Every structure is written in structure tokens, then in C-alpha cells.
Homo-oligomer: A and B are copies of this chain.
Amino acid sequence: MNQFTKILKSYLPILDWGAKYTGKTATNDLVVALIVSIMLIPQSLAYAQLAGLPPEVGLYASMAPLILYAIFGTSRSLSVGPVAVTSLMTLAAVAPIAAQGTPEYAGAAMALALLTGVILIILGFLKLGFLSNFISFPVMAGLGTAVGLQIAAGQLTPVLGIPADGGTFLKQVISLVKNSGEINFYIAAIGVSSFIFLILVRKYMATLLMRVGMGKGLAGILAKMGPVIAMFIAIVAVGGLGLDKQGVKIVGTVPDGLPSLALPPFDLELWGKLVTPALLIAIVGYVASFAVAQSLASKKRQHIDPNQELIALGATNIGASISSGFPVAGGFSRSIVNFEAGAETPAAGAFAAVGIALVALFLTSLLYFLPSATLGATILVSVLSMVNFKAVKVTYAYSPTDGIAMAMTILLTLTLGVIAGLMAGIGFSLAMYLYRTSKPHMAVIGQVPGTQSFKNVDRQEVVTTPEILSVRVDESLFFPNASFLENKTGEMVALNPDVKHFILNCSAVNSIDASGLESLKSINQRLKEGGIAFHLSEVKGPIMDGLKKTKFYEELKDRIHRTHYDAVAAIDPKLAKQTFNAVGNTSIPPE
């Protein structure tokens, strides 16, 4: 029973913190929820617009995920909902399949969220969270810059009223330039002034409020309310001046009420097209969420479980899917607000979901006159902080390979799209990593006079003899380096024609896989054919256990030595002893 409770608690963290939940915590979480839910409204509407979906879908995608994360999540502060990168990836995945505004488009977005969720849960149960490690930091940072630019270019359409084709950054820019004559000045006036207002609020509001005596925490939170204030002003202005009649695009009628629960269309052909984007959204969303969750948790010395986070994020995506939403992830800005407002448990998120639900139920009519230009400006401001070209230079200076990986990711994302950029970045980083690990360091070693220890001949004064070649390999023997070991051994022997004994020092070898074993076998075979005896020294216990199961061991066992000194002493006892008895670093000429 105890074991069962433990497993249950690991899959349902709510059982853990829920048991200790008090009235005081609840009051605190309620206050946090009020702030957060107000802040989430414009964000949710804007990201729905970015994903090519109607505004209410943004609200829908913000409710179930918050509640489900409260049940399954291990972070106390992470806020899950629509975020920039996954919204853009949703647009990229669904736009080629269905036309925006159709039920097919909405259905495909739901299916995408479902697949994303299922993939995340499978990865979680298989404990495959480590897969996300393979998006290296430079690739993720490069993706951020490129996605930021692509989203920014896309938002110039609602912000300036210039019609443009969708697609990659490159396509968008070409099309924006071509159509720049069609700018609508009413839209541009609203868009640009919203943009400037948001930038100013973000930069100066907190300082200003603090100067008039407000506490730092409250001032910080209020400064994040900029988008809400901008929305309010824009709604009043557009409604009051009747600007919608001048071609200014407004949100219009947002259907009241909560999303109906429904499964996405069951259509294997559709699912087949969406499975690759879903996998990438799952991984990118997970990497981003996990980074945010971990950085907030460490501030309070809390622990985040990577595999449970996969399950939690999977559950939130399935929740988003069946409540007519689209793929979600843990967001940076929304989580920061949550954290800084003082959320003590994930219940704050669940309460915020209730707040959003109330808006969806009763207040959507207030959003009627909200101009798309202001929503676009909100996105524009938040994505510009993702763009960082200087990082390429800094990274290149520290590690050229990493700099190239980052530049490659940016360039390909801008010209060919997110998926191409991401795949190229991951592929290049992996290839470079494998190249590095395929060439382990190998050193010829010799006996340090006065000791029984053996060191690199290039680093220390040591004693060697032409008949014995002692080599240390500084890596476990795995298939990526197995043939390198074979080649290198061949080269070393070819350079030392008088060798009669080759001793491989395995002190740094922690494991040997089947390919490594095979390469040892063929090294032994070849050396034998060349009249050279192959020896091993300092083989670790677990490796010996494995070797003893093989036929190879029968052949080699008399030439496996406990220490390297034992090996040399077994072949040339005179030299080994003489060197050991020498004083200090006096070099002893062999023979």
C-alpha cells in the first residue's frame, strides 16, 4: 500500500501538496490568480491570432491546461497555455492542410494538440526525457532568434494593415515589401502607438510606480499589466471614434460560453501529416517549459521531475485538444508573473483558469472593439526580446562549432522554415558531437623512474623500450570509436617496427560494447599475424565480468594484467625493476 501511494503520488503530485493545503494558502493563491488571469487574457487572444485561430480559442486553450497542470505538474510556478513558438509551429503545421477560419483548420489544430499530448505522455512513461538534451543550447537560442523574427514579420500585417503572404520570414518580408503601398494608416496609427506605449510601459512603468512610493513587487506586477491597459485604451478609442468603419480590423463578436468538450476528427491521413510537427512541438515545448520550471524551482530549492513534467505537459495538451484548443506549453512571461505574484501552489493556476472561464462566459462582449493591431503589437513587443544576434558572435568566439550550429539554425529557419532549421541544427550538432567522440585521446605511455606508474611520453620523462608499446586510451570503447582504435593501433605498430608486445592500458575505459569487443578481437588477430603479442592492463571489474563470458577471454586471459607495471614486469622484469629502483626522474636508457 505504501509503495502504491508513493507511485500514485509520483504520477499525481497534487496528492502531495494538496494534503498540506490550508485556508491561508488558498487566500494567497486566489489573489495571485486574479492578477494572472487578467494578464493572460490579451496573451491568449494574441497567440490564438498568431496560430491562425479565432480569439476565443486562445481562451479555451488557457483553461483546461491550467487545471490539468495543477494536478499532474511538479512545478509550483509554471503556467501552461498558448506560447509564441508553439503557436507559430501550429500555424506552420496546419496552414498547408486547411484554410484559416474553416472548421477543418480548427479540427486540425485540435488533432495536433492531441498528438502532441500523446507523444509527450509516451515519452514520459518511457522515461525518454533525455531526448530533449539533444536540442543543444545554441540550436535552441538560434531557433528563438529566428522564430522571434518570423513572428515579428508576421505581426506587421495586423499592426500596419499591410496584407502579406504567410510562410517563412523570407517570404513574408518579400511580400510585405511588395505590398507596402497598401498600408492602412488608421491601423498603422493604432498599431504603432500601441507598440510604443507597450515598450514605454515595459521600460519605465515599474520605476515610475516605485518613485511614487509603490512597493517593488506590486510595481513589477502592475508594469506587466501594460497589455491590459493598452487593450482598454484601444477598445475605447476604436469604439468611440468608430474606426472599425475605416477598415480597422476588430475582434468582433466573440462567442460567449465555455468550450464544448469534443474529440478532434479521427482521420488517419490527417494524423499522418501532423505527426512530425507534433513531435517537434512536443520536444520544443518541453525544452522551453522545463527550462522555465527549473529556473523558478531552483530559486526556492524545489525539485522538478523531468519525466513527470513530460506526462503533465502531455495531459495539458490533451486537455487543450478536447476543449477545442491548440498546442500549449509552459510560458516564460506568464510563469514569471505567477511566480512574482507569489503563487505558492499550482492551485493558483487552477483558480486563474476559473477567472478566464468567467471572462469567456460573461465578458467577451467587452472585446468587440478590440483592434487586431493592438494584439499584434502585444506579440511584437514580447517576441522582440527573443531576438539576439549578438549571441552568435559570443558563442562563436567561445566555441566555433556551436556558433556555426546557431547561425545555421537561424539562417535555415528564416529561409526554409522552423522545421528545416530545427532539423538542420540538431543534425549538425549531433554530427559534430559524434565526430568528436569518434576520436578518443590515445597516448603512448612509459614508466616514470622511481615509481610503478606510467605516464604520457610527451608529458613526462619516462622509460620505454622498443620491444614494448604501451598505449592508454582515454575513453570507453563504443561503436563510434571502435574503428578509430583499430586504425590508430595499426598506425602505431607500423611506426614502431621492433615492437613485440602491445599493451593497451584500460584504466580510463568504463565499458566496452559489442563493437569495441570486436575491435579488440581483430586487433589481437592482426597483431598475432604480425608476430606481436597483445596485452591488456588495468581492466575494470565490470568489464572483466563481461569479458569472461566470451571466447576471446580464453585466448587472452594470460595476457590480461592487473596493473600496467605487472604487464611490463611480466614481459621485461629486468627493465621494470631497474626503472622502479631508479631515484627520481633520472632517465634510464633501455638496454
Contacts and interface: CB of A to CB of B under 8 A. Distances in A.
Contact of A134 (B132, B480, B486, B529): B480
Contact of A515 (B137, B295, B299, B306): B137
A486 B294 contact: yes
Interface in A524-542: 525-526, 529-530
A399 interface: yes
A401 B549 CA distance: 16
Interface string A289-331: 0100011011101111010000000000000000000000000
Interface stretch (A37-45, A88-96, A428-436): A428-436
Contacts of A434: 130, 133-134, 430
A130 B439 contact: yes
Contact of A514 (B132, B297, B398): B398
A444 B299 CA distance: 23
Question: What does DSSP make chain A's interface, helix, strand, loop or mixed?
Answer: helix
Given A398-B550, A549-B397, A301 B494 contact: yes
Contacts of A397: 549
B546 A295 contact: no
A155 interface: no
B137 A479 contact: yes
A384 interface: no
Most buried by B among A130, A395, A441: A130
Given A138-B515, A484-B130, A441 B510 contact: yes
Contacts of A497: 301
A73 to B, nearest CB: 16
A498 to B, nearest CB: 12
Contacts of A130: 434-435, 438-439, 484
Nearest to A397: B549
A479 B395 contact: no
Nearest to A547: B398
A269 interface: no
Contacts of A482: 133, 136-137
B479 A514 contact: no
Most buried by B among A290, A474, A483: A483
A479 B401 CA distance: 12
A398 B517 contact: yes
A493 B526 contact: no
Contacts of A344: none
A133 B483 contact: yes
B134 A298 contact: no
Given A130-B438, A437-B437, A402 B480 contact: no
Contact of A399 (B306, B513, B519): B513
A22 to B, nearest CB: 23
Contacts of A399: 513-514, 517, 546
A478 interface: yes
A510 B474 CA distance: 10
Contact of A401 (B474, B490, B491, B513): B513
A522 B297 CA distance: 12
Contacts of A484: 130, 133
Interface in A461-484: 474, 478-484
Nearest to A508: B508
Contacts of A566: none
Given A133-B482, A513-B402, A514-B398, A299 B522 contact: no
A244 interface: no
Given A134-B480, A433-B480, A479-B433, A529 B398 contact: no
A518 interface: yes
A514 B136 contact: yes
Nearest to A137: B515
10 interchain residue pairs of minimum CB distance: A136-B479, A298-B526, A402-B514, A137-B515, A137-B518, A299-B529, A136-B515, A130-B438, A399-B514, A395-B514
Interface of A: 130, 132-134, 136-138, 290, 294-295, 297-299, 301-304, 306, 394-395, 397-399, 401-403, 406, 429-430, 433-439, 441, 474, 478-484, 486-487, 490-491, 493-494, 497, 510-511, 513-515, 517-519, 522, 525-526, 529-530, 546, 549-550
